[in-house]
Structure 1
Amino acid sequence: MRTQIVAVSDTHGLSQVLPLLEKAYPHASAYLHMGDLEDDPRLYPKWIFVRGNNDYMFGMEIPDARVVRVNDTRIYMTHSHRFGYSRREERIAAAAKENDCQIALFGHTHVPVARKIDGIWVVNPGSVAFPRDGKSSCYAVIDIEEDGTIELHLLHEEEWPFRLPAQNRRWFW
């Protein structure tokens, strides 16, 4: 049986995308958010969160990093703002490896990434609200086959199985 994981980061208040993702991927085994939700996480009980540098409200104790297990796969989650820019992805991969994880998910940069470092898949789903790479908004879908094979999909907005209503977009810059 295939395991499917939906991963987002840096929604920055564009929280209406979360229920749309749940509806688009109803059989997902996990919904993971890498921080900068800027909303009350209690409103999204299906999602697992880590704290971003802009998640300081709502009195919730959300960890800066955590390890989650989805079936037989261990996943390291962090927003990554505490990692700095120099060799960020390599240091995130090392933290995942120290925690016996096969996948490391991070956010903060708003730039999608999917690459293997020292045997660890390092994935940044980008930002569904404010991409910074000159491309459209993005999130990730991770499919894990029974044999442990991992397939990563970075889905840009033109590939999404849903559309955000225009009036729901928030643009700060």
Structure 2
Amino acid sequence: MKVLLISDSHGLENELRQVAEAYTGKVDLMIHCGDSELPAVHEVLENFLVVKGNCDLENFPEDLLEEAGEFKLYATHGHLYNVKMSLANISYRADEVGANIVCFGHSHLAGSELIDGILMINPGSFRLPRGRKERTYCILELINRNVSVIFYDHEHEKIEQLCYTYTL
């Protein structure tokens, strides 16, 4: 199973459309982790599951929980869990909902890490990255108990330094 994660596109339409078109039919889920700043009915979001970010005015859900292969994937923007300061609160939430993969944005920092058996993934920002110059998104490849997290820049070039495979 494959999942596309993107976040913090802050009003970008054409660029988000290009990503959606590139992966429609090639991934099983596309998730926008908030701050799209687009209307909920915008056609570019039609193939995405979208959560509400702190800059979104639309009535998107605050979070979602999805079955993804053998995993439970929890997605939220992150501002309600203070992810810029610590991942503790979002980790507690993952425990509450039984998730073993957590996807969030808000900090605009691309990365992934395994904390107490829960895989935390921030796809970074597709418009205003922090900590790196590349505008990023990522693809999760879920095979049995392995999760490969593969990061790409806005030109669909792989960013090797950010790519990891985890066993959950």
TM category, shorter: 0.7 to 0.9
Q: 2:66 touches 2:73 (CA, 8 Å); kept in 1? A: yes
Alignment correspondent of 2:163: none
Output the CA distance in 1 between the equivalents of 2:71 and 2:153: 25
**TM-score normalised by the chain length of structure 2:** 0.84
Output the CA distance in 2 between the equivalents of 1:157 and 1:39: 19
**Which structure carries more relative contact order (alpha carbon 8 Å, separation 6+)?**
1
Q: Which has the larger radius of gyration?
A: 1
How do 1:141-160 residues align onto structure 2 when only pairs under 5 Å count? 141-145=139-143, 147-157=144-154, 159-160=156-157
The 3 A distance-change label for structure 1 pair 56 and 136 is same
Alignment correspondent of 1:75: 73
Q: 2:100 touches 2:118 (CA, 8 Å); kept in 1? A: yes
Distance apart, 1:158 and its partner CA: 5.2
Distance apart, 1:9 and its partner CA: 0.4
Q: Which amino acid aligns with 1:36?
A: D
Q: Report the identity percentage.
A: 27
Note the residue ranges of structure 2 that are not aligned, 5 or more in a row.
Answer: 159-168
Task: Say whether 1:64 aligns with 2:65.
Answer: no
Q: 2:2 touches 2:28 (CA, 8 Å); kept in 1? A: yes
Alignment correspondent of 2:34: 35
- Which of 102, 106, 113 is residue 104 of structure 1 equivalent to? 102
Output the CA distance in 1 between the equivalents of 2:141 and 2:107: 23
Output the CA distance in 2 between the equivalents of 1:110 and 1:69: 25
Q: Which amino acid aligns with 2:99?
A: C
Alignment correspondent of 1:50: 51
Q: How many residues align?
A: 154
**TM-score normalised by the chain length of structure 1:** 0.81
Output the CA distance in 2 between the equivalents of 1:133 and 1:15: 24
